[in-house]
Amino acid sequence: MPVSDVELIRAWDQVLSLSGVRSGDMVTILTSDNTHPQTLRCATISAASCGAVVNRLDLPPINGEKALSRDSLAYLGTTPLTGNRAAMAALKASDYVLDLMTLLFSPEQQELLESGTRILLAVEPPEVLVRLVPTPEDRERVATAARIFEGKKAMYVTSKAGTNVRMPLGQYPVVQEYGLVDQPGRWDHWPSGFILTWPNEGEVEGTIVLDKGDILLPMKSYVQSPITITIKKGFATSIEGGLDAELLSEYMASFNDPEAYAISHIGYGLQKRAFWSTLSLYDREATIAMDARAFNGNFLFSMGPNNEVGGTRSTPCHIDIPMRNCSVALDDVHVVREGKVVEELHSTLRRVAA
C-alpha cells in the first residue's frame, strides 16, 4: 500500500542528511520515463529544504527496443548519457546525482564518480524506499563485513543442494552497499544492505546448484526445480535443469554475447529488514526486487559485467541470483552458515571497532 509524501520526504531527509548534503550543494535529479512521480516530488522537496541547488535532468529512455525485460537493471552498459556531452557536463558539475533512472554498470557512471560526483540510485517503489530507509546501523553492519573481507584470498560457497565453488579474491575491491553516498565519488543504491566484490578474472571453478526458492533476476522468478551451473575459468560453461534453466538459458543466449556468462559480483545479504518472500507479493514489473538482493543471509552472485570495478566487461546482459541456505566462507572464516549470517562475527568486530 502507498506511503504519504510526508513519510517519503522524511526518508529522503534521513538519506540526504546521512549522505552529507549541505546548503549550497549542487544536487541534480536524473529522471526518465520510468521515474516514479512521488519519488521525484519528494526527493526534490527534501533536497531543496536542505538548501541545495536542485536541478532536474530528464533523459529519453533507450534500449527499449533491444531489451526483452522492462526491468531497469536488465539491459545495461549503454545509457542516455552515452555520447551525451551536455548531460555529462551537468552531472560532473554536480556534488550529488540522485539517479531515479538507473545508470548502473555504465562507463559513464564510472566517469562521473571519478570526477568526485556522488551517485545514489533509487528506483524502488516509494513504500519499499520508506521501509528500507538506510540507517547508520546498516552502514556499520556492511562496513564490518567489508573488514572481514580484508586480505582474504578466496570465497568458498557450499550448500546441501550441491553448490561447491571456489572464487579467488584480491583483484577487485570490495563494494559496500548500504544506501548512503557519504563520501565524494561514492555510488550506492537505496535500498540495499549487502556486501559484494568481484572474483579474480578467469579463476572461478566449481558448481552452483540453484535450489527450489532461489531467485532469478531480472526474471523475478523463484526457481521451481534445480538448475546446475558449471563454472570453469570464471565462466558458466553449462546451465542444466528443467524449465527454469531453459528460460534462463534462452534469455542469456538472446544477447549473443560470451561476456554474459562471466561470473560478475559475488557476496551476501545483510539487510534484516528485507525479506526473501517480498518478491512473491509484488507484480513482476512493480519492483526491481532489492529485497531479494539484500535479505539477510543470502548468497548473491551474478553473471555479466565487471566495468563497475574497473574491468573491461560492459555486456548488457546482467543476471542476479540471490540464493538461500548457502554457506559462505572467506578463507577459513565462515560468514554465512546455511543461509544465516554468523552474527557473532559482527558483534565481536563491532566491539573491536568501538
Residues of this chain that bind ligand G6C (CB under 6 A): 73, 177, 189, 192, 293, 302, 320
Of the two residues 54 and 278, which places its CB atom closer to ligand G6C in the complex? 278
Closer residue to ligand G6C (CB): 54 or 326 = 326
Question: What is the nearest approach in angstroms of ligand G6C to the Cβ of residue 312?
Answer: 18
Query: Phi and psi for 156 in degrees, rounded to 5?
Result: -115, 130
Helices (H) and strands (E) in the chain, counts: 9, 20
- Shortest CB 93 distance to ligand G6C, Å: 25
* Closest CA relative to residue 318, chosen from 107, 75, 82: 75
Smallest distance, ligand G6C to C-beta of residue 302, A: 5
Least Cβ distance, residue 177 to ligand G6C (angstroms) = 5
Residue 314, number of CB atoms within 10 A of its CB: 18
Q: What residues does 98 pair with on adjacent strands?
A: 29, 120
Q: Could you tell me the three cell numbers for 143?
A: 562496513
CA–CA dist 271, 112 (Å, integer): 28
Q: Which residue's CB comes closest to ligand G6C?
A: 189
Q: Cis (ω within 30 of 0) for the bond into 125?
A: no
Residue closer to ligand G6C by CB (options 217, 326) is 217
Q: Are strands 299-303 and 263-269 parallel, antiparallel or unpaired?
A: antiparallel
The sign one gets for the Cα dihedral 205, 324, 319, 254 is: positive
The CB-of-170 to ligand G6C minimum distance in angstroms stands at 20
CB count, 10 Å around CB of 207? 14
Q: Which is nearer to ligand G6C, 50 or 193 (CB)?
A: 193
Which amino acid is present at 148? Answer: I
- Is 23 exposed, middle or buried, given 0-12, 13-18 or 19+ CB atoms closer than 10 A? exposed
How many C-beta atoms lie closer than 10 Å to residue 91's C-beta?
Answer: 26
| CA end-to-end distance (rounded Å), the chain | 39
Q: How far is the CB of 310 from ligand G6C (least distance, A)?
A: 16
Nearer to ligand G6C, 179 or 234 (CB): 179
Minimal distance in Å, beta carbon 293 to ligand G6C? Answer: 6
CA distances from 43 to 46, 104, 171, 176, 351 (A): 5, 19, 37, 23, 36
- H/E element, 216: strand 215-216
Task: Characterize the bridge pairing of strands 299-303 and 227-232.
Answer: unpaired
Minimum distance between the CB of residue 173 and ligand G6C, rounded to whole angstroms?
A: 14
CB 352, min distance to ligand G6C, A:
28
Helix (H) or strand (E) holding 130: helix 126-131
Q: Which is nearer to ligand G6C, 12 or 194 (CB)?
A: 194
Nearer to ligand G6C, 50 or 120 (CB): 120
Cβ nearer to ligand G6C, comparing 50 with 175 = 175
Between 73 and 120, CB nearer to ligand G6C: 73
**Least distance to ligand G6C from the beta carbon of 348, Å?**
27
**C-alpha to C-alpha distance for 254 and 74, rounded to whole angstroms:** 13
CB-nearer residue toward ligand G6C: 103 or 148: 103
**3-class DSSP assignment, residue 21:** coil
